[in-house]
Chain A
Amino acid sequence: MIRDFNYLRASTVKEALDLLEQHKDDYKIICGGQSLLILMRQGLVAPEYLIDIKNIKGLNTINFDRKNGLRIGATTTHRAVEKSPLIKKHYSVLLDMEENLASIQTRNWGTVGGNLAHGDPAGDPGPVFIALNAAVKMANKERERTLPLEEFFIDYFETALEEGELLLEVQMPIPPPKTATVYEKFNIIKNELGIVSVAASITLDENGLSCKDARVVLGAAAPTPKRAKKAEQMLVGQTLDEKLLDKVSEKASQEADPIADIHATEAYRRSMVKALAGKMVKKAWEQAKTSA
């Protein structure tokens, strides 16, 4: 049963920040509410005030330019990302990610910002955005701040968002030349939450031979989306062969910190991280070779 609450609708960012400030101790922000309403129905969340930001003007935009890269407003729906020609052209990995994120109904109403703010380590955007070196812009009544996304996630369902603070947008720089980013999740039923997922971003040198930079990000394999940094380091400066790939994926699986639940044991999650990490690094590497 959903407990009664006071409903407040904000139509501008300023209005929202005022409301957040005003009801600091007992509010929840709702946008798409695709995760929130489930928690409210289970009685796990019962705020006094529910502040609706879904209709704030200017927060559901997707912008891209050669200088600043990509900026996705927090209230942008998953479906809008999926259908954006800009995204398709410049960040096709996001299209792959969004198309498998959940059912169409959920993608139609659920938002990118809501997904991140929920802080579920099994969420899809987290690992992919981190692989794309994303940052998030947040604001409270006093100030704005920007934080690398990997620092945004603190623990299971816990983020860096402070009381009174609103997530405004996700920013992604233009990827360097010879870079490719890929993502895959492992699940039994398509589009459902991943048992584990891995995003990999590989930047090659100008000849397309050795690795200049690498990001390997694990989903549902730790309390937050997690970079397998040791595995990444093993790649930098190297050329790819099966032996390296094997070592890198083994390392990534060691860096994972998964739980056991009804869907998989810890050991199985580790072996899936291994299987996916190798596959993703290889795939990103191949694509990076041919990318501009």
Chain B
Amino acid sequence: MKKKYTVIDTPVHNIDGIAKVTGRAKYTFDVTLPNMLHGKILRSPHPHAKILNIDTSKAEALNGVKAVVTGKDTLGVKQGIWRRYKELCDEEILARSKVRYIGEPVAAVAAVDEDTAEEALDLIEVEYELLQGVFEPLEAIKEGAPQLHEHAERNINVTRHIEWGDVEKGFKKADYVREDWFRCSSQAHVCMETHGAVASFIPEGKLTVWTSTQSHYYIQVLLAGVLDLKENDIRVISRYTGGGFGSKFELDSAQFCSSLLSMKLCKPVKIILTREEEFMATKRRTPMFYYVRAGVKKDGTFLAKEARVFTEGGAYTAMGATALYLTGFFQTFPYVWPSYRYDGYRVYTNTAPTSAMRGFGAPQATFTAETQIDLIADELGIDPIEIRRKNGMYPGYEVPGQAYIQSCGLSQCLDKIEDWVKSRGKLPPNRGIGIAAYGFMSGGIFNWFDTPYAFSSALVQVNIDGKVDLYIGSQDMGQGSNTTMAMICAEELGVHVEDIRLHMGDTDKCPVDLGAWGSRETLMQGNAVKRAAAEAKRQIMEFAVAKMAPNIVYDLDIKDRWVHLIARPERGLSYYDVVKEAIRGKDGQPIIARGHYTPHRKGMISPAYSFGVQAVEAEVEPETGKITLKHCATAHDCGQVINPLGVKGQLEGAIAMAAGYGFTEDLPMDEGKILNPNLVDYKLLRATEMPETEVVEVETYEPEGPFGAKEAGEGLTNPTAGALSNAVYHATGVSIKDLPITPEKVLEALREKNEKKEK
């Protein structure tokens, strides 16, 4: 079959690849400026305390220390991303009067080197009045529990309600109803590059901040707010970001403190968080206590579902309000539930704030929902694939009042995974295959940030030699959006990826995009790029048409740097020649075009949804409870694949992260103190633990996406924990509803099961 496209859907080298494999790529961690100072942040050792006094005199007197700042040096702005809702902007970053979690910043030092700055931290005397802390949401919500914020009675930070259909009637009609409680644990993002910033303020009143971020635009705006500068007096630069996963689009302590110090000194200040700070004091995945009740017919038809969630919010709102909404929404995914009621409560606790992390509430929803569906199927004697097929979403389905599903490859994905499961044949003892189906959004429609800009913008300039400058606001943090955007631009314009010179990661040069979160770049920035490239192409075509003078019923196109009649591809002109003529014809101006995208009338959540089904084959050692992953097969509908290498990389990477969530990663705490804030005790999967990965792409065409594309990276974090829990269930007969599924939990459950059997 002749390929429809010349650039997209072809494996190409990542455009940042050579810089990365040669060590030339400069991250924030690598930035050094002349006269640069080094900063360190003093953090609260207490989970809940009033700050009575901070004495910085001894620290300031230390040789080599240039400045110390505390909350008193700030404007005391309570900031947050939910700028439309004042009460949800609740974090000062440098606490002025009260600390609410262990690790909350209370002071920062700039000194000639890191060691001096660290030494100075020991000399800062903070007088605290200790307050009683509360650490569990189900405790914190009780009457009389210590209250973190004056405005939040019973520590309730946000509540969310979603409802459709007649839930009571649905349950009445049900032949079988089951209810389960689940506990979803926390998870650390563990970007290989920790949070960091180099801030440089000059007397002209301009601030430049190099930082590791997922959204230079958000950081620019948020910094402007807390520093009382104009947005455009701040330049944020983020060429390479060493991982994000949801942890790097809020304003962080490195960015804020280095800026404050630099403004005080008019010298560059660099702050890079240590791995320990990264674990203790940056944000993390939201732990959730989940109650799910489901009513179904004997034949497996879903009728009614009710879910209640209490999330451990930690000390501040962060992006937790979004996670609370999305977990409720995705609890029903990817199925048709005729009636549904969700109530979510986000509760403040004296722990590190919980926020966005890859999947954004959906992995928790998918784990609980998919585990329960297998238990229901088992009870009713229905095949796990069959029950999912029976109730799956389909193209054209409307989630009542919430979302409209256009493309949906769920049923094809189920077919492919069914084939894969069959191909595995009869499994040896203690092995099981579990499946989980999922869906995810392709960019959020939410604008709690209250930006007046379009969600995504792009600018294309075609130069005299045919080379193309592409200016984008999206941020590549490793997910490969730079390459994706270059491919979309090259395809639309009919040139090669090598012809694109990309400009990104710099608020001075790039148009606004909201950043790399919520799986928005491919669809939203992609649409903006495609529109800009299309407009540039239209301008080029005007000259081509004039030159070639075809019968006006003929259409022209550019492919492979060849401007031609679509019906007669051999009849054409060199792209280079046409561009030269066009620029000459434009009075010597290069061809410039803009494109932008903002979703309109696309429901409450997202313009498009990805779908997929994953099967995990795992072995459980009965003597120890140890789980070994053997295979992970995924059938995946991300619409039209743009960058095949990128999609596969996203998929395999998501498996490693989501499997870690499923059985090895956790953040145990004692009175708000994280007990494993290092990479020795925090257990990440390594190469030796990775299963074999099989991928089947199910291509659909998404009308809202560029070339029909949808998200392809974040949603893949959703299914694995659920598929794994189902694999353990099918291997052993025990279902673990408490993440992570540790050997100890499995062994204990096996022991209980055997005891019951003996009775």
A touches B in complex, CB < 8 A: yes
**Residues of A that sit less than 8 Å from B by CB:** 1, 186, 188-193, 262-265, 268, 271-272, 275, 279
Q: Do the beta carbons of B664 and A189 come within 8 Å of each other?
A: yes
Q: Do the beta carbons of B744 and A264 come within 8 Å of each other?
A: yes
Task: Flag whether B118 is at the interface (Cβ < 8 A).
Answer: yes
Pick from A1, A190, A193: contact of B689, CB below 8 A: A190
A1-B119, A189-B683, A275-B624 in contact; A265/B689 too (CB < 8 A)? no
Q: Do the beta carbons of B676 and A188 come within 8 Å of each other?
A: no
- Closest CB in chain A relative to B651 CB, distance in Å: 22
- Closest CB in chain A relative to B664 CB, distance in Å: 6
A1-B114, A268-B747 in contact; A188/B681 too (CB < 8 A)? no
Q: Do the beta carbons of B689 and A189 come within 8 Å of each other?
A: yes
Q: Which positions 667-704 of chain B face chain A at CB distance < 8 Å?
A: 668, 675-676, 680-681, 683-686, 688-689
**Interface bin, chain B:** 20 to 34
Give bound CA distance, A271 to B675, whole Å. 24
Q: Do the beta carbons of A1 and B744 come within 8 Å of each other?
A: no
Question: How many A-B pairs fall under 8 Å by CB?
Answer: 42
Pick from B118, B668, B688: contact of A189, CB below 8 A: B688
A1-B119, A262-B668, A272-B624 in contact; A189/B744 too (CB < 8 A)? no
Q: Do the beta carbons of A1 and B118 come within 8 Å of each other?
A: yes
Task: Flag whether B626 is at the interface (Cβ < 8 A).
Answer: yes
Give bound CA distance, A188 to B684, whole Å. 10
A1-B114, A272-B624 in contact; A263/B681 too (CB < 8 A)? yes
Q: Do the beta carbons of B683 and A188 come within 8 Å of each other?
A: yes
Q: A271 contacts which chain B residues (CB < 8 A)?
A: 747
Give bound CA distance, A272 to B747, whole Å. 10
Closest A-B pairs by Cβ, 5 of them: A190-B688, A275-B623, A268-B744, A1-B118, A262-B668
Q: Do the beta carbons of A189 and B686 come within 8 Å of each other?
A: yes
Task: Flag whether B743 is at the interface (Cβ < 8 A).
Answer: yes
Q: B624 contacts which chain A residues (CB < 8 A)?
A: 186, 272, 275
Task: Flag whether B115 is at the interface (Cβ < 8 A).
Answer: yes
Q: Which positions 626-646 of chain B face chain A at CB distance < 8 Å?
A: 626
Q: Do the beta carbons of A265 and B664 come within 8 Å of each other?
A: no
Give bound CA distance, A198 to B308, whole Å. 45
Q: Do the beta carbons of A188 and B664 come within 8 Å of each other?
A: yes
* 16 sampled A-B residue pairs with Cβ under 8 A: A1-B115, A1-B118, A1-B119, A186-B624, A188-B626, A189-B685, A189-B686, A191-B688, A192-B683, A262-B668, A262-B675, A262-B681, A263-B681, A268-B743, A268-B747, A272-B624
**Residues of B that sit less than 8 Å from A by CB:** 114-115, 118-119, 623-624, 626, 663-664, 668, 675-676, 680-681, 683-686, 688-689, 742-744, 747
Q: A262 contacts which chain B residues (CB < 8 A)?
A: 668, 675-676, 681
Give bound CA distance, A268 to B626, whole Å. 12
List 4 extra interface pairs beyond A186-B626, A190-B688, A192-B680, CB under 8 A: A1-B114, A188-B663, A191-B688, A271-B747
Q: B118 contacts which chain A residues (CB < 8 A)?
A: 1
User: B669's closest neighbor in chain A, by CB?
Assistant: A262
Give bound CA distance, A279 to B685, whole Å. 26
Give bound CA distance, A191 to B623, whole Å. 20
Q: Do the beta carbons of A190 and B686 come within 8 Å of each other?
A: yes
User: A268's closest neighbor in chain B, by CB?
Assistant: B744
User: B121's closest neighbor in chain A, by CB?
Assistant: A1
Give bound CA distance, A268 to B747, whole Å. 9
User: A264's closest neighbor in chain B, by CB?
Assistant: B744
Q: Is the interface of A mostly helix, strand, loop or mixed?
A: loop
- Closest CB in chain A relative to B118 CB, distance in Å: 5
Q: A275 contacts which chain B residues (CB < 8 A)?
A: 623-624
- Closest CB in chain B relative to A122 CB, distance in Å: 11
Q: Do the beta carbons of A265 and B744 come within 8 Å of each other?
A: yes
Give bound CA distance, A275 to B623, whole Å. 6
Q: B743 contacts which chain A residues (CB < 8 A)?
A: 188, 268
- Closest CB in chain A relative to B111 CB, distance in Å: 12
Q: B668 contacts which chain A residues (CB < 8 A)?
A: 262
- Closest CB in chain B relative to A23 CB, distance in Å: 23
Q: B744 contacts which chain A residues (CB < 8 A)?
A: 264-265, 268
Q: B119 contacts which chain A residues (CB < 8 A)?
A: 1
Give bound CA distance, A265 to B745, whole Å. 11
Give bound CA distance, A189 to B743, whole Å. 12
Give bound CA distance, A242 to B676, whole Å. 40
Q: B747 contacts which chain A residues (CB < 8 A)?
A: 268, 271
Q: A190 contacts which chain B residues (CB < 8 A)?
A: 686, 688-689
Q: B663 contacts which chain A residues (CB < 8 A)?
A: 188
Q: A279 contacts which chain B residues (CB < 8 A)?
A: 623
Q: A1 contacts which chain B residues (CB < 8 A)?
A: 114-115, 118-119
Give bound CA distance, A262 to B740, whole Å. 13
Give bound CA distance, A262 to B742, whole Å. 12
- Closest CB in chain A relative to B673 CB, distance in Å: 11
User: B117's closest neighbor in chain A, by CB?
Assistant: A1
Q: A193 contacts which chain B residues (CB < 8 A)?
A: 680
- Closest CB in chain A relative to B233 CB, distance in Å: 35
User: A4's closest neighbor in chain B, by CB?
Assistant: B115
User: B622's closest neighbor in chain A, by CB?
Assistant: A275
Q: B114 contacts which chain A residues (CB < 8 A)?
A: 1
User: B621's closest neighbor in chain A, by CB?
Assistant: A275
Give bound CA distance, A234 to B434, whole Å. 44
- Closest CB in chain B relative to A115 CB, distance in Å: 16
User: A271's closest neighbor in chain B, by CB?
Assistant: B747
- Closest CB in chain B relative to A41 CB, distance in Å: 10
User: A190's closest neighbor in chain B, by CB?
Assistant: B688
Q: A189 contacts which chain B residues (CB < 8 A)?
A: 664, 683-686, 688-689
Give bound CA distance, A279 to B621, whole Å. 13
Give bound CA distance, A186 to B624, whole Å. 9
Give bound CA distance, A189 to B684, whole Å. 8
User: B667's closest neighbor in chain A, by CB?
Assistant: A262
Q: Which of A189, A193, A262, A263 has the most CB of B within 10 A?
A: A262
Give bound CA distance, A193 to B678, whole Å. 14
- Closest CB in chain A relative to B477 CB, distance in Å: 25
Give bound CA distance, A265 to B115, whole Å. 38
Give bound CA distance, A221 to B668, whole Å. 22
Q: B742 contacts which chain A residues (CB < 8 A)?
A: 188
- Closest CB in chain B relative to A117 CB, distance in Å: 20
Give bound CA distance, A263 to B747, whole Å. 14
Give bound CA distance, A272 to B689, whole Å. 20
Give bound CA distance, A193 to B683, whole Å. 11
Give bound CA distance, A40 to B743, whole Å. 33
Q: A272 contacts which chain B residues (CB < 8 A)?
A: 624
Q: B675 contacts which chain A residues (CB < 8 A)?
A: 262
Q: B684 contacts which chain A residues (CB < 8 A)?
A: 189
Q: B689 contacts which chain A residues (CB < 8 A)?
A: 189-190
User: B627's closest neighbor in chain A, by CB?
Assistant: A188
Q: B626 contacts which chain A residues (CB < 8 A)?
A: 186, 188
Give bound CA distance, A262 to B669, whole Å. 9
Q: A191 contacts which chain B residues (CB < 8 A)?
A: 686, 688
Give bound CA distance, A192 to B684, whole Å. 11
User: B744's closest neighbor in chain A, by CB?
Assistant: A268
User: B681's closest neighbor in chain A, by CB?
Assistant: A262
Q: A263 contacts which chain B residues (CB < 8 A)?
A: 681
Give bound CA distance, A25 to B534, whole Å. 76
- Closest CB in chain A relative to B175 CB, distance in Å: 40
User: A3's closest neighbor in chain B, by CB?
Assistant: B115
User: A186's closest neighbor in chain B, by CB?
Assistant: B624
Give bound CA distance, A189 to B627, whole Å. 11
Q: B686 contacts which chain A residues (CB < 8 A)?
A: 189-191
Give bound CA distance, A275 to B626, whole Å. 12
Q: A264 contacts which chain B residues (CB < 8 A)?
A: 744
Q: A265 contacts which chain B residues (CB < 8 A)?
A: 744
- Closest CB in chain A relative to B286 CB, distance in Å: 20
Give bound CA distance, A34 to B305, whole Å. 54
User: A269's closest neighbor in chain B, by CB?
Assistant: B744
Give bound CA distance, A9 to B675, whole Å. 37
- Closest CB in chain B relative to A20 CB, distance in Å: 28
User: B119's closest neighbor in chain A, by CB?
Assistant: A1
User: B115's closest neighbor in chain A, by CB?
Assistant: A1
Give bound CA distance, A191 to B689, whole Å. 11
- Closest CB in chain A relative to B273 CB, distance in Å: 15
Give bound CA distance, A272 to B626, whole Å. 11
